[in-house]
Chains A and B, each alone.
Chain A
Amino acid sequence: LAKTTQPISMDSYEGQEVNITCSHNNIATNDYITWYQQFPSQGPRFIIQGYKTKVTNEVASLFIPADRKSSTLSLPRVSLSDTAVYYCLVGAPTSGTYKYIFGTGTRLKVLA
């Protein structure tokens, strides 16, 4: 399974765009890239997922270059409530399920 590397922490101010980059040099052909958000004492929550190029949903965008060895989660106009840990995961189906390895994650702190 591909391992991911992310910055340990980031600070941002309210209203700014935040970009969190994830490195996954040994990503395999079948692997998808998925991002989860986790607040203290809660389970992780799905944010966005992609395979290549760009994916956008109502809360974030995910940019994946052609070589797929990295990806960038973009959060537009963050607010204080976006303070959380963000995990980048890559993996492929295993035994009928999707086996994730969570990396260390990035602790985002949004300041007023």
Chain B
Amino acid sequence: DTEVTQTPKHLVMGMTNKKSLKCEQHMGHRAMYWYKQKAKKPPELMFVYSYEKLSINESVPSRFSPECPNSSLLNLHLHALQPEDSALYLCASSQVQGLPLKPYEQYFGPGTRLTVT
């Protein structure tokens, strides 16, 4: 199974709402990623988890709060978002990088289309 699933597919939320995006993989990958992608732009890395610990935070505003409850799940908690946060949020997973230095393939989910009103 090489699939990364994300729920929900679409989400509309107001600026005062609290919601969560969920991501799941069953490939045994111990690195998981959140990306944000605006229309006609490339994906931008937000967070990276390695062995369930946050290893990279790309200076993301605190209204985005990631969580990795176990090796298969990754959540992104959303609170007090702004309309400019509307985007496609992509989750990815990969094996944890070790030796050799050749990077492992990242497997992406289909994304959650988020609209903030």
Interface positions of A (Cβ within 8 A of B): 30, 32, 34, 41-46, 49, 51, 87, 91-105
User: Are A99 and B102 closer than 8 Å at their CB atoms?
Assistant: no
Question: How near does chain B come to A95, taking the closest CB pair, in angstroms?
Answer: 4
What total count of A-B pairs have CB within 8 Å?
A: 78
Dominant secondary structure of chain A at its interface with chain B: loop
Of A46, A92, A105, which contacts B101 at CB under 8 A?
A92
Asked if B4 is at the interface (CB within 8 A of a chain A CB), the reply is yes
B: contact size bracket? 20 to 34
User: Are A95 and B110 closer than 8 Å at their CB atoms?
Assistant: no
Question: How near does chain B come to A39, taking the closest CB pair, in angstroms?
Answer: 10
User: Are B106 and A100 closer than 8 Å at their CB atoms?
Assistant: yes
User: Are B96 and A96 closer than 8 Å at their CB atoms?
Assistant: yes
Q: From known contacts A41-B110, A96-B55, infer whether A51 and B102 are also in contact, taking CB-CB under 8 Å.
A: yes
Of A49, A98, A102, A104, which contacts B97 at CB under 8 A?
A98
User: Are A43 and B97 closer than 8 Å at their CB atoms?
Assistant: no
